Amino acid sequence: MQALIKEISLQKNYLHGEAIETIYFGGGTPSLLNESELNYLLEAIHNNHAVAAGAEITLEANPDDLDKAKVSALRQTPINRFSIGIQSFFDDDLLWMSRVHRGQEAEASVKRVQDAGFENITIDLIYGYPLLTEQKWKHNLNKTFELDVPHVSAYSMTVEPRTALASFINKKIYPPLNERQSARQFEQLTAAMAINGFEHYEISNFCKPGLYSRHNANYWRGVKYLGIGPSAHAYNGTTRQWNVANNAKYIQSIQNNTIPAEVEKLTEANRLNEYIMTSLRTMWGLDLNRLNAIAPASATVLLKAADTYFDKEWITRKENIIYLTQTGKLYADAIAADLFF
């Protein structure tokens, strides 16, 4: 906590005095912090940075942390948005994912937060893993709609190197993930969200009309951000930096008044590619004028490279904006990578 407070002070000039519109307590399990610790961090942010009135302040939380006492205590903080890691409402799926909570607890945690007067809630769901049949996925989605949350983030499961899941798959204890299953369940997801009045504003994010996550939307639109703590990333438009992942090394460095970060100066190609990757994922699309503002004539080069995808109807163009089609969303990463400079 002391190191976090000190880093907030050390980084006070990173955003050059720009007002902070969103504050996000994420990564690890920030819901382990009590209300005094959260208020302590927020006070430090206000003391060192300009915070916009009505800023969106989100806390990531595991369902098992959100008991009645915890939720009541959080009413004594400026937290005004919750991101709850539901993942699934099925106990066997949660056990398979090594999650601590169970399906009934997941549902109850959302209701407790709502009963306490918090309306701005998002939940996380996962699809594309071996245990998840289309029928179970339909149940998870229907349960989400019953809970009447205004925002949903849904992610296809991926296998990261050097994880237990990767080891189990390599040893053939678990079957490999099935891309066709993921594609089917993504289409099932987008159809259900549309029927229930959600906007699909980014590949993995859905919301009731206009109720976007300001934090998510700012990230995908390339707004500058500052990350605090071990492993935290920051971006100011021209450089990117990331803190050391080791807690002890992080604390020692901060105590010596040194930010333990590697810094990367973004080249013109980096900035073009980042904009392509992030903008194509959103409902707002890729603005060719903004591309040319980064590098003159880059839009012409991109349009030539994109011919194949126009022909396949994976992307479409309206005036100076390029959008992914519904089919194109299945191939978003591959399309973006192919258009990189």
Q: Is residue 13 part of a domain?
A: no
Assign 162 a pLDDT band (cuts: 50, 70, 90): confident
The predicted pLDDT at position 133 comes to 96
Looking up residue 118, the CATH number of its domain turns out to be 3.30.750.200
The residue-averaged pLDDT of 175-179 equals 83
| Residues 75 and 125 placed together within one structural domain of the fold | yes
| Residues 116 and 155 placed together within one structural domain of the fold | yes
- Burial letters for 131-155: b for 16+ Cβ neighbours within 10 Å, e otherwise? ebeeebbeebbebbeebebbbbbbe
Q: Is residue 76 part of a domain?
A: yes
The predicted pLDDT at position 302 comes to 96
| Residues 131 and 202 placed together within one structural domain of the fold | yes
Residues 6+ apart with CB under 8 A from 308: none
Looking up residue 281, the CATH number of its domain turns out to be 1.10.10.920
| Residues 72 and 109 placed together within one structural domain of the fold | yes
Q: How many domains does the chain have?
A: 3
pTM of the model: 0.92
The predicted pLDDT at position 165 comes to 73
CA 278 to chain centre: 12
| Residues 133 and 168 placed together within one structural domain of the fold | yes
| Residues 58 and 119 placed together within one structural domain of the fold | yes
Residue where the block lists tokens 């029928």: 135
Q: DSSP letter string over 175-219?
A: PPP-HHHHHHHHHHHHHHHHHTT-EEEETTEEESTT---HHHHHH
Residue 225: DSSP 8-state: B
Give the percent of the chain with pLDDT over 90: 86
Segment 248-254 long-range contacts (CB within 8 Å, at least 24 positions apart): 250/3, 251/3, 254/3, 254/6, 254/7, 254/10
| Residues 244 and 284 placed together within one structural domain of the fold | no
Assign 227 a pLDDT band (cuts: 50, 70, 90): very high
What range defines the domain where residue 243 resides? 233-265
Average confidence score pLDDT of the chain: 94
| Residues 252 and 272 placed together within one structural domain of the fold | no
Q: DSSP letter string over 283-312?
A: TT-EEHHHHHHHSTTHHHHHHHHTHHHHHT
Distance CA 269, CA 10 (A): 30
pLDDT, tens digit (0-9, with 9 covering 90-100), for 89-121: 999 999 998 899 999 999 999 999 999 999 999
Residues 6+ apart with CB under 8 A from 3: 250, 251, 254, 255
Assign 172 a pLDDT band (cuts: 50, 70, 90): confident
The residue-averaged pLDDT of 41-58 equals 95
In this structure, of 1-5, 127-131, 162-166, the range with the lowest mean pLDDT score is 162-166
Q: Is residue 5 part of a domain?
A: no
